Chains A and B, each alone.
Chain A
Amino acid sequence: MPTAIASEHIGHFIELYEKAKALSSPAPKLAALQDKAAAHLEEMRFPTRRDEDWKYTSVRQIVSQNWALGKATTLSPEHIENAAIKDLDDIRFVFVNGQFVPALSTPASQWPQGLTIKSLADALEGEDSEWLSAKLEAHAMHDNPFVVMNTAFGQNGWYMEVQKGAVIEKPVHLMMFSTGEEAFVQFPQLWVHAQTGSEFSVMEHYLPKEGNTPHFTCAVSCLRLEANAHVHHYRLQRESDTAFQINFCEVEQERDSVYSSYATDLGGAIVRNNQNVLLEQSNTETHLNGIYLINGEQHVDNQTFMDHAVPHCNSNELYKGIVTGKARGVFNGKVLVRPDAQKTNAFQQNSTLLLSPDAIMDAKPQLEIFADDVKCSHGATIGQLDESAVFYLRSRGLPLREARTLLQFAFLGEVISNMPHEPVRNFVEKLVHDKLYNH
């Protein structure tokens, strides 16, 4: 029976949780929350493809494995330096196998003024974040088992508070390395609280692992933008093709705030991203940008949810991808315009190049509009390269492969060019270029 199998899988994670507890004991508030999450998890089951939200993505291959927790280890400083983004002046947080490595990270003494960074446990023990504890309580009882699991296990979470009016020039760069022969699971957690009028950029960067053993990243990020705060949020996922990722990102926006995300998926065997944005107050702007470039048997599923709860908010989604080989892409973009959300502008575009007979793309735009004075549009296109453009380029001397690569690059370039940090843009361009050429 499928349900029995699913709960058996939950059992593995409960056992793993017991092991983790035996190894370390976090501060009391966090420990209590984690126990609560674990107890909730025990009552849950993992989704199957019969669940509407998971129709196109099966997690069986992920949850049926016996994962170990990531072993604490380190890498050489040269290794980190070689993996750095050229010319990017960043505040680095280095993780190896899910464990934070202070020796390889930017020391606390060099963190900029106006930015408070605390471990999750410390932040929770302090009096300063009602928001954080309320959200964690909600996550412990969430209906998505991966969010619950992340809450139960997440010990290396970071809480970043950008002080009122602070403009943090350097992006915080979370570099997630994995190494070693063991198959392991990690639970990154990122919390950003951008106070009124602050500006902040953060990048989650998942690097490729050497070797073929799989690992599973179950990540949660949660961002709150107070009035007039501006946040750029990058997620660059270029793991090896044996890696699994399930991401859950939740954003809350107060009035006049601007949130922009740039999600790039190049690696991974099975990747599922949930990007939810709740517009709580008026006059906000939201830009969700996404790129997926997949081949072989890769599977990347992007789910977005724009919740327009109040009037006068603007959202703009642009997801573009190229799917070849036997890869499968999924885009499910939901836009909800609630009855009060008059004068909403909500646009969504998803375009995919499907470049081989066995490649699959499922595109599902979903607009639910309950207000009458709004501007909303969505478009989903799935197509091939324009052969007349290929001919034009070849007639000027570009060999077939170069002509096709240039056109594919241009297709994704529209999204890449939206990234505001030039070093990041150059870096992503190079990664995309290299992957296109090595097809």
Chain B
Amino acid sequence: MLSIKNLHASVEGNEILKGINLEVNPGEVHAIMGPNGSGKSTLANVLAGREEYEVTEGSVIYKGEDLLEMDVDERAHAGVFLAFQYPVEIPGVSMATFLKEAINANRRARGQQELSPVEMLKFIRSKTKLLGMDEQMLKRSLNEGFSGGEKKRNEMLQMALLEPSLAILDETDSGLDIDALKVVADSVNALRSPDRSFIVVTHYQRLLNYIVPDFVHVLFNGRIVKSGGKELALQLEEKGYDWIKEENAVAG
């Protein structure tokens, strides 16, 4: 599915990622944890194609293709989805218009027929219902005036509608109360399938009580310094990140 090799990336000349290696197979859930400033969000954004991040070395192969050569929208068409840490508010673009445009843009790119307005509404309704969202929300401007929880729920709605092969959740759990957190976890769990993979970037272990990962990686200072199973997350919860920092300070 995804193969990251020796990935280096910089923002405004500062190197943030210093050689990431990661293999994600179909159906797997990988959790990326780490202290603030370790490069977690940078990794998520580089995969989504944000232009401020410059890849200086290394490769990312997605389904056999060079992901770094693809435009932002092409990555979406190929099935890469980023749930934003800070979803953007866009006044004047209604949720309904946005979802319709996004769904049909992906269908066109994949050579599928666009959905008729009736099919579209039916499809969107089936997912809003699943997420316990009020349909009135479709009339509102995209993310404008949404609470933190509503914004994250909206990211999950988009994920459900776009049915990606690789979903990257960038600290989707930050700032959420337990109910909102469960909605996020339920959305991910509902979509888990043998041909769909997830990278869950999180600062806290709590989300991983609900989304049980196959692998946990600890990112520190731009590198993955520790990998393990779900028990690694519990260890981090118990001991914090200091022992990682110390270990690496000694090793470094």
Contact = CB atoms under 8 A, between A and B. Distances in A.
A422 to B, nearest CB: 16
A428 to B, nearest CB: 15
A413 B87 contact: no
Nearest to B107: A397
Main secondary structure of the interface of A (DSSP, over half): helix
A410 B93 contact: yes
A382 interface: no
A398 B88 contact: no
28 contacts: A386-B88, A388-B88, A389-B90, A391-B72, A392-B84, A393-B98, A393-B101, A394-B72, A395-B48, A395-B72, A396-B76, A396-B102, A396-B106, A396-B158, A396-B162, A397-B77, A397-B102, A398-B105, A399-B73, A399-B105, A402-B101, A403-B73, A406-B93, A406-B97, A406-B98, A406-B101, A410-B91, A413-B92
B94 to A, nearest CB: 9
Interface string A58-71: 00000000000000
B109 interface: yes
In the A-B complex, the 6 residue pairs with the smallest Cβ-Cβ separation, listed nearest first, are A410-B92, A397-B76, A396-B102, A394-B72, A392-B88, A397-B106
Given A397-B73, A397-B162, A400-B73, A392 B92 contact: no
B49 interface: yes
Contacts of B109: 397
B90 A398 contact: no
A402 B105 contact: yes
Nearest to A398: B105
A407 interface: yes
B73 A398 contact: yes
A395 B155 CA distance: 12
Q: Which among A386, A396, A398, A403 has the greatest number of chain B C-beta atoms within 10 A?
A: A396
Interface string A365-406: 000000000000000000000101101111111111011001
B88 A411 contact: no
Contacts of A394: 71-73, 76
B226 interface: no
B50 interface: yes
A397 B99 CA distance: 10
A409 B106 CA distance: 21
B169 to A, nearest CB: 13
Contacts of A398: 73, 101-102, 105
Contacts of A358: none
Interface string B46-66: 001111000000000000000
Contacts of A391: 50-51, 72, 88
Interface of A: 386, 388-389, 391-400, 402-403, 406-407, 409-411, 413-414
Residue among B72, B76, B82, B93 with max Cβ neighbours from chain A (10 Å): B72
Given A397-B105, A402-B101, A392 B87 contact: yes
A386 B89 CA distance: 10
Contacts of A389: 88, 90
Nearest to A400: B73
Interface extent on B, as a size class?
20 to 34
Given A394-B71, A410-B90, 12 more contacts: A386-B88, A395-B73, A395-B75, A396-B98, A396-B102, A397-B162, A399-B105, A402-B105, A406-B101, A410-B141, A413-B92, A414-B91
Contacts of A400: 71, 73
Given A395-B49, A398-B73, A400-B73, A407 B102 contact: no
Contacts of A406: 93, 97-98, 101
Contacts of A409: 92
Nearest to A396: B102
Contacts of B98: 393, 396, 406
B234 to A, nearest CB: 32
A402 to B, nearest CB: 7
Contacts of A403: 73
B11 to A, nearest CB: 15
B80 to A, nearest CB: 9
Contacts of B91: 410, 414
Contacts of B102: 393, 396-398
A116 to B, nearest CB: 41
Contacts of B75: 395
Nearest to B141: A410
Nearest to B77: A397
Nearest to A388: B88
Contacts of B48: 395
A395 B72 CA distance: 6
Among A393, A394, A395: residue with most chain B CB under 10 A: A395
B2 to A, nearest CB: 17
A404 to B, nearest CB: 12
A407 B92 CA distance: 8
Contacts of B105: 396-399, 402
Question: Which of A397, A398, A413 has the most chain B CB atoms closer than 10 A to its own CB?
Answer: A397
A394 B84 CA distance: 13
Contacts of B50: 391
Contact of A411 (B49, B92, B97): B92
B246 to A, nearest CB: 37
Contacts of A388: 88
Given A395-B72, A398-B73, A414 B158 contact: no
Interface string B137-174: 00001000000000000000010001000000000000
